[in-house]
Amino acid sequence: MAIDQKAAPAADELEEFQRADAYDEWLKNEGMRVYKDFVFDDLNALELSDWPRKGGKGAVINIPNDYLPNDAHVVEIGPATQTPPEHHMYEEMVLILSGHGSTSVWLDEHRKQTFEWGEGALFSIPLNATYQFFNGSGSQPVRYLSVTNLPPMLRLFQSQDFIYNNPYLFRDRFSGEQDFFSAEGKLYKGRKWRANFIPHAGTQQLYGWKERGAGGVNVMLELPQTHLAAHISQFPVGTYKKAHRHGPGAHLVIMSGDGFSLLWRDGEERRMAKWKKGGMVIVPWEDCFHQHFNTGAEPARYLALRGGGTVGKRNWGASGADKSIKEGGWQVEYEDEDPEIHRIFEEELAKHGATCKMKFFIPYCTGEVGPTTIDQRD
């Protein structure tokens, strides 16, 4: 049987195929301000615009990367007001940036679970549960940051109606338990703290993490029944952490201290991101090396809000996070780092009139011996 073949038209006679991006369409429909960046000086000073869905002002933050494993929402609630109730088929992890108030979460409107929070509180919204935020002050606004996995969810299902109007209830994740947001947390092996509610990330107990470098302490936060995860790290005055890499989308919110981060990919120039309390640095690219430096007068602490499973080519739960790249891991040991990195650190310290305390780990350090053991608690 003969096949009817037609000559292909000339390329200039054909339209360019344009695939609609469901997440980009959502951004346009929502109408709020959108930032595409990875360094923010002060989240509390970030300029916002009206966001009708939230009943107040807000903005969305996207990293400068076509692949978005997550995004960040900054929302402001006016004095003595509340957000409209909403539920959605994406996960959301919330950090209170300023103010105090409460949140109600429910599957059944007659069995609401309500808990109070203040600045520094961290919690996650159970998937597709209905929730509402209340500002507890009559004179001051509340501002919060949330990291969500909305971009991949919208791009997978291609439907805003599915995301916001889906009736399915994940009772295996949350069924209205009275103590869901008040139960005691529990510490597990590997510095893992499992809890549904962290009262204040700035004062959370931390534990020694000798593998990551000079005097650093850390806790890995496991918020139950969510793919999203977080960790808190802190390192002493005059020190810095070892460089490491992983997939994009880790949002590092500075809880205390002054300093900077260096970010780079193989063969590319390093970029410096200076930070202080209230700022945020996001790891923007796949396989992006990043390294954090304390140039201030107090220990530097940050909260990292991120995905909890596979992100890009690297899995967050794998042991490569604190294993040398010489052994197949993701970390650059002090003895293997470019000496230029230490020179940059000492130069920045000099601008602040501070002394480098990395002599124990860096033989060519011109400063003094600081921490030599890393098993101490915070």
Q: State the residue for tokens 């009275």.
A: 178
pLDDT, tens digit (0-9, with 9 covering 90-100), for 122-171: 999 999 999 999 999 999 999 999 999 999 999 999 999 999 999 999 99
Q: Whole-angstrom Cα distance, residue 152 to residue 28?
A: 17
- The angle at the Cα of 143, spanning 138 to 145, to the nearest 5 degrees, equals 155
pLDDT at position 73 over 80: yes
CA proximity to 196, closest of 229, 232, 220, 224: 224
Q: Are 82 and 55 in contact (CB under 8 A)?
A: yes
- Is pLDDT at 319 greater than 90 in this prediction? no
Q: How many domains would you assign to the chain?
A: 1
What pairing do the DSSP bridges indicate for beta strands 251-256 and 280-282?
antiparallel
The partner residues of 233 in beta bridges, in order of sequence, read 218, 302
In a domain, 178, yes or no: no
Q: What is the pLDDT of residue 313?
A: 45
CA atoms within 13 A on the CB side of 181: 19
How far lies 327's CA from each of 163, 233, 242, 266, 332, in Å?
A: 42, 24, 15, 18, 10
Domain of 89, in residue numbers: 22-164
In a domain, 41, yes or no: yes
- Does residue 375 carry a pLDDT above 50? no
Q: Is 156 left (phi over 0), alpha (psi -120 to 50) or beta?
A: alpha
Q: Closest Cα partner for 229 from 250, 246, 243, 209?
A: 250
- Domain membership of residue 376 (yes or no) is no
Q: For residue 58, what is the domain's CATH number?
A: 2.60.120.10
Could you tell me if residue 204 is inside a domain? no
Identify whether 50 is part of a domain: yes
Residue 188: is its pLDDT beyond 50? yes
Q: Which residues pair with 198 in a beta bridge?
A: 122
pLDDT exceeds cutoff 50 at 377: no
- Is 349 within the bounds of a domain? no
Quote the percentage of the chain above a pLDDT of 90: 79
Give Cα separations from 281 to 42, 60, 260, 336, 364 (angstroms): 10, 15, 9, 25, 29
What is the predicted pLDDT for the residue at 317?
46
CA pair distance 29, 48, nearest whole angstrom: 16
What pTM value is reported for the model?
0.92
User: Is 207 part of a structural domain of the chain?
Assistant: no
346 lies in some domain: no
Res. 227 pLDDT band, cuts 50 70 90: confident
pLDDT tier at 2, thresholds 50, 70, 90: low
